Amino acid sequence: MNPLVTLSVATLNRPGYFRQTLSSVLAQDYSNLDILVSDNGSRDETPSLAAELIKNDRRARFRRNDTTVPIHEHFTQCLEAARGEFFILLCDDDLVSPNFVSEVVGVATRHSSVNLVVPANVTIDENGEVIEEFSKPEGEIFDGPEFVKTWLWGPTPKIFINLATVLGRTEVMRRFGGYQGFARGQNIDNLLFLQCGISGRIGFAHRALFSWRVYNRSYGTTSTPEQIAESSHEFVKHVLHDPRTVEALNALPAARRKEIVDGVRIMTAREFLSRIDFFREPFRRENFTRLFSFGFDPIFWHVVLHWYYRWARNTFAPQAAKRAASACQ
């Protein structure tokens, strides 16, 4: 089997990294590939650079927005323009290995019930040097709801850092409406991954490598804690009230449904706390004050109080043990 795959590169005013990103796409060893370069209204040399790079490649095509639209709308445009049975989205500062498509498609074609395939993940810096390599699970195919639950509750060791670049079944991704309009695009890939994951099985391609670039001007790192809090509430609300998501959740056992809904709250709480540097400086006045900007969510405050409890236990229990040992001497 050699199904058509659409690999879409979404870009906006980032020509330096865009050249590297698109070059990694054009170097793919998979033959039945639809390469869609989508420009979100760039005002620099990005469109002309795209034309130069893809002009001799029959697999590639180009689309462009005359004006810049919100990121969720742009990503959904890419999904709607896809021609392939499977869809992959790649942002314009990240990289994929030459065997990326062939490896993730291989997993999907070996297992017809798969909705998503996750690649191996690493983070890279501005110069492309590896910062961190993430773990690989044992096996190739997993129960979707179980995989989603484990991800939401915080797996150890961590398997991936970014869920924007995975292989998804195009029809399933469209069925859930594509990417939603959450604050500054936060959690839009997480929601779609959850929706597809609870509706089928999830594969893992051990030899496909996705490199997520982390630097101080990358889109995800510039979101404010307030925007993260807003998108977190929108994420939870969508899971609870969107008819298509509710239908998919209702097909699961009640205990699993609760684990997934609670897991969304736990994951988004941890993301917010990480962004305000709470875990490193929990007693800093600014960090403590910002806790209240998240709003009232019992699970959020449970996560906060549980962390304070662990900190107190780890700090004072060893001291008490030392004093007891000294008293016995």
Burial bucket for residue 298 (CB in 10 Å: 0-12, 13-18, 19+): exposed
> 């314009």: which residue's tokens?
92
Which letter does DSSP use for residue 32 in this model?
Answer: S
Predicted local distance difference test score (pLDDT) of residue 328: 58
pTM attached to this predicted model: 0.93
Q: Which stretches of the chain score pLDDT less than 70? A: 155, 219-220, 319-329
CA dist 294 and 282 (Å) reads 15
- List the alpha helices (DSSP H) in the chain: 15-26, 46-54, 71-80, 100-110, 144-153, 170-175, 188-197, 225-241, 243-250, 254-275, 285-290, 298-328
- Single-letter amino acid code for the residue at 71: I
Which of 3, 37, 39 lies closest to 23 in space, CA to CA? 37
Q: Give CATH for domain 5-222.
A: 3.90.550.10
Q: How many CB atoms lie within 10 A of CB 108?
A: 24
CA distance 236 to 303: 16
- Considering the chain, tell me which residue range(s) the CATH 3.90.550.10 domain(s) occupy: 5-222
Residue with tokens 């925007």: 227
pLDDT given for residue 243 in this prediction? 98
According to DSSP, the β-strands at 114-124 and 201-213 are: parallel
CA distance 202 to 196: 9
Q: Which of 9, 199, 226, 173 is nearest to 101 (CA)?
A: 9
Residue 146 phi, psi (nearest 5): -65, -40
Spatial CA neighbour of 199 closest among 250, 138, 248, 246 = 248
Rounded to whole angstroms, how far apart are CA atoms 304 and 291?
9
- pLDDT value of position 278: 93
Q: How far apart are CA 262 and CA 209, in angstroms?
A: 31
Q: So what's the pLDDT on residue 219?
A: 67
Residue 155 pLDDT: 67
The pLDDT of residue 154 is: 87
H or E, element range at 169: strand 167-169
Question: How many other CB atoms sit within 10 Å of the CB of residue 327?
Answer: 7
* SS3 assignment, position 81: coil
What's the DSSP call for residue 115?
E
Residue with tokens 């070059």: 23
